[in-house]
Structure 1
């Protein structure tokens, strides 16, 4: 028997009221906007309780969500149509992740289980058990492993994704409840955060902790790697994010980069864009913040949720940001043209910066107002990839 129900009709956005009938919902425009808002967005509705997790899948064409109502849902991005409802768990679902090929997804829950699903069939392929609430989980980039963490014995478990067999178990990996676990892009390291204010990087080859990071002044709630594997970002209840240059090891001598004044409440989630150019964070202050990952300056804040924001996700093309909230909704923000917003332009000017475009890769990057666009025609990544003398700016 399948663990899913098919929904033939759309669950789409409304004009701001949460009390519309189904017939009214299906006859309104999918686009919504707050007064004076310059970022268009869509709203996904359908969960009966707070939404804890969200992620893009199928190259950004679909969205997976997970909720306190015990369900996971699959939406189409275009038209925000509800496709499938998965009766996932008997308790709140804390996290949902998807494989890179979007054939499988994983859920975890307060019911102490981790479940590995076939997305198309809507069936659970295997289920793993913890002794306590499963706080978080992730799938390795190569799709071969699943990592999960629980609160009872502060345990990290690593599972074989093909059959659910337990590969490694790290008991008391943190001194207090672990809050997040995630794989590095090369699938060789696992970063975990905890209520003990510690971030640990565990190496799957040496089977040892290769980095123990601190710097936060309160519980660390989330972490993420940049796709180029240079940075590890952490977010905490102290309202800040910390960025560690783990590729060069510069954090050992110079410490982490502190990102503050972005959130007025606990940071709940963070994620780098696929090209590692942007960093997006969310918090219990109901804000989504976009940061420039080249100089780690704040670019934009997006507000509108009526409850804590619990999770975020960035589409592969960087045109959309998802935010999940305790207000029972998921918002889909269109940030494709955010650089043209006057507030963003003015912010760049205030910092003495202007935006130019790399002639080689097409990515935008910041340079000083007085610097010559012709001299800085390529971004730093393209210059370093081809370090010919005429590619580098003169120091004379």
Structure 2
């Protein structure tokens, strides 16, 4: 858990002198490193405590905590300032914990596992409030924004369960929702629909009121769709795929029905495992099996920075509400915290935003009135709308060809 002085723009492995692999697990969990590494262009902290792949890491409690879970069958609540574990939750599950999440406006944690169990735990007391066993290996979970409902997915039979968060009672069970394993499920911010993505490369939206699938999308991804995330207003959905790409879907305008999704190009060199929007939707963060974390400016749909330092697959990412912190989980058994507060001062970011020294200027969207940045190379009389308003206009849309395999 000590802070590693690694350059996030370098993939060099740490020297053996800096490794803690030989220390007992209890000693690693007791150690702490609360200082940001100042040798990095992006200050970084490393949280060590898990003994196997970290499957999820979520910033929470006003960005003062990180909740992580692992294939080692434990979950840990970390203090961001000190990098120390506040609580270690062992014995909740008998197999890999595939995902964890917090129930909003509460101190309750949800974990789902390959042992077929969903468990709700009180983070303050460590007490198990309830647990339920469902019909398969649980692959993902999500909470509604009001905290009343939970959703989880199970394999085999590509099942979706809608569950009462108070007592664990199953309210709805949808079987054979996809043709193959469901990799991720997410409530939309309005708690009206559940998005699921799958190894069958499809995207589905299941409506809570009609109790049926209202949207079914052939994503045109060329491989497994591994993750999805909503913008805070629910208008856009981003999907991540093992085909090394991410796509943005305008769910409000419905243009995806005829045009498909908007491809975010030149991102990762490996399969994309995860994606997460900031609350204001200005920043998208993605993680990949190429061991990197990518940052995307959603006003221009441009990648601004690649964070390197993990020594194995990045399995999950999370971004703070103020866009100053990113948490990343990895198969290398660690969680990393990246401090983005001064990201705009990094030369690599300036070069990308400035488009080879031409600079950047702020325009006001003619439709929604919000400011948006563009390279001066892009400015013209035709560029009067931000990307989100342009996506709502089919006549201006130009679909991208699928990436070459």
TM-score higher than 0.5 here? yes
Matches within 5 A, 1:1-396: 11-15=1-5, 16=14, 17-19=18-20, 22=27, 26=31, 30-32=35-37, 37-87=40-90, 88-213=92-217, 214-350=219-355, 354=360, 356=362, 365-369=372-376
Instruction: Compute the displacement of 1:13 (Å).
Output: 2.4
Q: Does structure 2 retain, via aligned residues, the 8 Å contact 1:239–1:260?
A: no
Q: Distance in 2 between matches of 1:93 and 1:33?
A: 33
Partner of 1:386: none
- How far is the alpha carbon of 1:99 from its aligned partner? 2.1
- Distance in 1, matches of 2:351 and 2:249, equals 28
SS in 2 for 1:100: coil
Distance 1:229 1:84, change over 3 A: same
- In structure 2, the CA distance between the partners of 1:371 and 1:279, relative to structure 1 (3 Å rule), is closer
Judged with a 3 Å threshold, the aligned counterparts in structure 2 of structure 1 residues 333 and 155 are, in CA distance, closer, same or farther, namely: same
Contact 1:179 1:220 in 2 (8 A): yes
Q: Is the 8 A contact 1:135 1:179 kept in 2?
A: yes
Give, in whole Å, the separation in 1 of the partners of 2:362 and 2:303.
17
Q: Deviations over 1:334-379 (max 9, x none)?
A: 0111112111111122275515498xxxx9741342799xxx9x99
Q: Distance in 2 between matches of 1:226 and 1:285?
A: 25
- The corresponding residue for 1:389 is none
Compared with structure 1, are the counterparts of its residues 355 and 228 closer, same or farther at alpha carbon in structure 2 (3 Å cutoff)? farther
Q: TM-score, normalised by structure 1?
A: 0.86
Give the CA deviation at 1:273.
0.2
Task: Report the Cα offset of residue 255 of structure 1.
Answer: 1.9
8 A contact 1:57–1:102 mirrored in 2: no
Displacement of 1:295 in angstroms is 2.4
Measured against aligned partners, the alpha-carbon deviations of 1:117-136 in whole angstroms (never above 9, x if no partner) come to 21212122111222221110
TM-score, length of structure 2 as denominator length: 0.84
Q: Does the C-alpha gap of structure 1 residues 96 and 379 become closer, same or farther in structure 2, counting only changes over 3 Å?
A: farther
Q: Secondary structure at the match of 1:346?
A: helix
Other structure's SS at 1:148 match: strand
Q: Deviations over 1:175-232 (max 9, x none)?
A: 1111100000000010001111111011111112111122211111110101021210
Q: CA deviation at 1:305?
A: 0.2
Partners of 2:372 and 2:337 in 1: CA distance: 25
Alpha-carbon distance between aligned partners in 2 of 1:237 and 1:366, rounded to the nearest angstrom:
30
Instruction: Number of aligned residue pairs: give it.
Output: 366
Cα distance in 2 between the residues matched to 1:27 and 1:164: 36
Range with greater deviation from structure 2 (14-23 or 265-274): 14-23
Within 2, Cα distance between the matches of 1:236 and 1:26?
36
| Residue in 1 that maps onto 2:392 | none
Alpha-carbon distance in structure 2 between the residues aligned to 1:371 and 1:243: 21
Q: Report if aligned partners of 2:197, 2:204 keep a CA contact under 8 Å in 1.
A: yes
Asked whether the 8 Å contact 1:12–1:79 carries over to 2, the reply is no
Q: Following superposition, which runs of at least 4 residues in structure 1 exceed 4 angstroms of deviation?
A: 20-23, 25-29, 355-358, 378-381
Instruction: Select the structure with the greater relative contact order (CA < 8 A; seq sep ≥ 6).
Output: 2
Shift, 1:14, TM fit: 4.5
Distance of aligned partners of 1:202 and 1:29 in 2 relative to their CA distance in 1, 3 Å threshold: closer
